[in-house]
Chain A
Amino acid sequence: MKQIKSLADLNKSKEEYLAKSKETGGKNASGEKIRIRVHMGTSGIASGARAIYEFLTIELEKRNINASVIKTGDMGYCFAEPTIEVTRPGEEPVIFGNVDKLRADEIIEKFIKNGEYVEGILPINYQIINS
């Protein structure tokens, strides 16, 4: 493992990761990537996020959609768990709440494939500090 010994090393690691995530992320037909974050903290998992994570990874592969599915912590939307965030290439991320397998399927077919919105959108209702 490469050790970080200076601010330059840290910055390099950041740049490398950002570049790598661009390359290895799943890509859509036109070669751009789709990213899905499944919020898997305690409240997410308690509401069934693990099953949604598995469903998404299996189904996306079956349906030949090359997307990256990432496990993250919770966003605080406990009332609407499980929640997932989908980022289509070049677009703002969209968060869907109360995702069961049925809705996950709809999200793949309608939103991921066609950009068509489905029920359960939770707009980003907060401002986040830029780092």
Chain B
Amino acid sequence: MVKYKKQILVCGGAGCNSKQSEEILDNLKLELEALALENDVQVIKTGCFGLCKLGPVVKIMPDDIIYVKVTPDDATEIISEHIVKGRKIERLIHKDPLTQRQVSSSPEMASYKKQLRIVLRNCGIIDPESIEEAIARDAYLALGKVLKEMKPMEVIKTIQDSGLRGRGGAGFPTGLKWKLAYENKADEKYVVCNADEGDPGAFMDRSVLEGDPHSVLEAMAICGYCIGSSKGLIYIRAEYPMAVARLITAIKQARDFGLLGNDIFGSGFNFDIEIKYGAGAFVCGEETALIHSMEGLRGEPTVKPPFPVESGFRGKPTNVNNVETFACISPIILKGASWFSSIGTEKSKGTKVFALAGKINNVGLVEVPMGTTLREVIFEIGGGIQYGKKFKAVQTGGPSGGCLTEKHLDTPIDFDNLIAAGSFMGSGGMIVMDEDDCMVSVSKYFLDFTVEESCGKCAPCRIGNKRLHELLDHICKGNGTLEDLKRLKNMSLVIKDTSLCGLGQGSPNPVLSTLDNFMDEYIAHVVDKKCPAGKCHDLMQYFIVAENCVGCTACARVCPVNAITGERKEPHLINPSICIKCGACMEKCKFDAIIIK
């Protein structure tokens, strides 16, 4: 029994909120009260509908009518026409600009939504520990189709035609990789799934493995059939216990159902999958280091060539793909290469999952077609910056990526555009920074990470990054000079050019991109010895503004080192040589008399 006859949902997402959705909500409630209908009609604010371009959005249930671009003044008409008289309000219904057709119901509106889920198609929908549920959503159908109806080269051609590129970071064409692995003849070959997700703030692979492990197992078997391999290996970090547990369950279930093992689908094709655990070293996400780690050796990269497709695990041809890449495979087989290549930009096809983190409202995973702009991802889907602060930069691609700024916001995201903008797709982490973040400290933070994670094999990465870190530390402490900035840039370029693997080649990117985009902040640090964002401890100084200080003594009492002196009802003074910059006084002061300079 539904208590209410009608229910009105008003979008409260960031996009609609900025266009007066609160007023719409209030007006709807007022109109209902005026007609004494508040017990028959429920009005409720919801999260984002994903229709931000058409906002503010109002949905009427159970009629399933979505009104777009609603203004607060439209509330009267919605109540009097739709609710009371049951007539649709034509002018508030979206008209498709191409077909001129009116679209108003949820299923029809779906295609206007910014997010398109291919990789995350089953996440949150199926029980990952039930293979039956996965099969009910067409898991293993592509595998069956491939084994029964297609030759390996046909499948590889399909993947090549789809334009799928590796989702692990570099964007190497997946079909080409498979083709190379297929062409290299050997008695045994290996299919490796790289689940060593190491970028700080990236967790899309974890979500796929936790939410839909069968999509990865199936795609690995398809890859095995294509390249002529009967053995799959999943390299996953032991820090992902839940993903590991669900993978183990999934592999067992697939074996029980005969979907892994011998003679799959009665086709004579054998394939089984084993899990290999990593200890969480960042460099092991690099394919040669990953292979060494699986062999029981130190996780260190080696020079390519030979590429793993020529000589990989145990010297055999090995095809390494990322979790997200594998998760794209079966929809491509089932829906066709041209379907997949119709999504995205010219050179980057399909969708990409991004992990939004940092100072953004809707922290979480989003999957958008390639070519969606950073602005759409951050300000519409991501809901904008926390506490209404100003956007400063977004770091894409983790510690090997760069910081992009306001001027890059309208860049359509794809592999090539991000590189052109001085960043990198990486695995899809997006760390959003606001006006309170100091970009020098941010690059120092990422170098902290790379210095820690460098395997130490090659000198540019091992020694160079350490020196780079020292220089940044120097600058943050207020001891830097303009000369240091030149050295910073030079050294970054040398490390980038001479490092052995992707870790070292990417590690100076945060420095280079912040030097490019935030030179003024670096100059403030070295010339004025000031940190504009107020983050660098050694460059801050607390001051008491004499006009605002009433001499209440609260600050002096809270100061742990007795750095504040002054008579009652007289302006106080902070002694900078004693002050430890803890900020306790500033928190305590009720008169905004204490400032940071």
Name the A residues within 8 Å of B123 (CB-CB): 41, 72-76
A126: chain B residues at CB < 8 Å are: 50, 113-117, 366-367
For the complex of A and B, 5 pairs with smallest distance between CB atoms: A73-B211, A125-B50, A76-B365, A126-B115, A75-B124
B135-143, B387-395, B542-550: which one contacts chain A? B135-143
Please report which residues of chain B, range 115-136, place their CB below 8 angstroms from some CB of chain A when the two chains form the complex: 115-118, 120-121, 123-129, 132-133, 135-136
Are A123 and B121 interface neighbours, CB within 8 A? no
| Residue of chain B at shortest CB distance from A28 | B1
Q: Is A117 a contact partner of B116 (Cβ separation < 8 A)?
A: no
Does A122 belong to the interface (CB within 8 Å)? yes
A39 at the interface (CB under 8 A from B): yes
- A130 nearest CB across to chain B (Å): 9
CA distance A62 to B126 in the complex (A): 26
B445 within 8 A of A: no
In the bound complex, how far is the Cα of B135 from the Cα of A1, in angstroms?
Answer: 15
The interface stretch among B39-47, B159-167, B295-303, B494-502 is: B39-47
Let me know if A5 is at the binding interface, CB within 8 A: yes
Cα–Cα, bound, A7→B116 (Å) = 28
Specify which chain A residues have a CB less than 8 angstroms from the CB of B50 in the assembled complex.
123-126
* In the assembled complex, A60 has its CB within 8 A of some CB on chain B: no
Which chain B residue lies CB-closest to A11?
Answer: B141
- Which residues from chain A contact B144 at a C-beta distance below 8 Å? 6-7, 10
CA distance A17 to B256 in the complex (A): 16
Q: Is the CB of B120 within 8 A of A131?
A: no
The minimal Cβ–Cβ distance linking B46 to chain A, given in whole angstroms, is 4
Report how far A74 CA is from B2 CA in the complex, Å: 29
Tell me, yes or no, whether B85 is within 8 Å of chain A by CB. Answer: no
- B242 at the A/B interface (Cβ < 8 Å)? yes
Whole-angstrom CA separation of A17 from B133 in the bound complex: 7
Residue B286 is within 8 A (CB to CB) of chain A in the complex: no
Please give, as numbers and ranges, the residues of chain B lying within 8 Å of A91 by CB-CB distance: 62
- Given A1-B256, A72-B127, A79-B361, 15 more A-B residue pairs with CB atoms under 8 Å apart are A4-B258, A13-B257, A41-B206, A42-B203, A42-B206, A42-B210, A45-B242, A73-B128, A79-B364, A80-B364, A116-B4, A123-B48, A125-B381, A127-B116, A129-B331
Within 8 Å of chain A (Cβ to Cβ): is B28? no
The docked-state distance in angstroms from the alpha carbon of A71 to that of B44 is 27
Verify if B71 is at the interface (C-beta below 8 Å from A).
no
Residues of A92-122 contacting chain B, CB below 8 A:
92, 97, 113-122
B441 contacts chain A at the CB level, 8 A cutoff = no
State whether A123 and B9 are in contact (beta carbons under 8 Å apart), knowing that A131-B121, A131-B334 are contacts in the complex. Answer: yes
> A125 and B364: CB pair below 8 A?
no
A78 adjacent to B363 (CB under 8 Å): yes
| Distance in angstroms between the alpha carbons of A72 and B126 in the assembled complex | 6
Q: Does A3 belong to the interface (CB within 8 Å)?
A: yes
Establish whether residues A129 and B116, one from each chain, have CB atoms under 8 Å apart when the complex forms: yes
Known pairs A45-B242, A121-B9, A125-B113; A5 contacts B210 (CB<8 A): no
Query: Restricting to A1-53, which residues have a CB under 8 Å from any CB of B?
Result: 1-7, 10, 13-14, 17-18, 21, 37, 39, 41-43, 45
Q: Which size bracket describes the interface of A in this complex?
A: 35 or more
Docked Cα-Cα span, A37 to B127, in Å, equals 9
B127 near A70 (CB under 8 angstroms)? Answer: yes
CA distance A118 to B46 in the complex (A): 9
A117 to B8, CA, bound (A): 10
Query: Can you list, as one digit per residue, whether each of B1-44 has a CB less than 8 Å from chain A (1) or not (0)?
Result: 11110010101010000000000000000000000000000101
B44 engages A119 (CB within 8 Å): yes
Instruction: Show the binding face of A for B, using Cβ within 8 Å.
Output: 1-7, 10, 13-14, 17-18, 21, 37, 39, 41-43, 45, 70-80, 83, 85, 91-92, 97, 113-129, 131
Q: Provide a sorted-by-A list of 7 A–B residue pairs whose CB atoms are within 8 angstroms.
A: A7-B141, A76-B124, A83-B124, A92-B106, A123-B47, A125-B51, A127-B113
B365–A73 touching, CB < 8 Å: no
Q: Flag if B366 contacts A121 (CB, 8 Å).
A: no
B117 contacts A72, C-beta separation under 8 Å: no
For B120, give the chain A residue with the smallest CB separation.
A76
Residue of A nearest to B122 (CB): A73
B364 cross-chain contacts in A, Cβ below 8 A: 43, 76-80
Which residue in chain A gives the minimum CB-CB distance to B339? Answer: A129
A43 contacts which chain B residues (CB < 8 A)? Answer: 203, 364
Q: Does B265 contact A (CB under 8 A)?
A: yes
Which of chain A's residues has its CB closest to B386's CB? A79
Tell whether A128 pairs with B117 under 8 Å between CB atoms, given A6-B265, A41-B242, A78-B365: yes
Residue-wise, chain B 61-98 has the 8 Å CB interface mask toward A (1 for contact) of: 01010000000000000000000000000000000000
In chain B, residues 176-227, which have Cβ atoms closer than 8 Å to a Cβ of chain A? 203, 206-207, 210-212
In the bound complex, how far is the Cα of B457 from the Cα of A131, in angstroms?
46
Q: Which B residues are in CB contact (< 8 Å) with A70?
A: 127
B145 sits at the interface (CB 8 A): yes
CB pair B113 A41 closer than 8 Å = no
B125/A72 in contact, CB under 8 A: yes
> What residue of chain A has the Cβ atom nearest to residue B212's Cβ?
A73
Selected from B3, B114, B207, the residue in CB contact (under 8 A) with A114 is B3
For residue A71, give the distance in angstroms from its CB to the closest CB of chain B.
Answer: 6
B320 at the interface (CB under 8 A from A): no
A8 vs chain B, min Cβ distance (A): 9
B145 CB to closest chain A CB (Å) equals 7
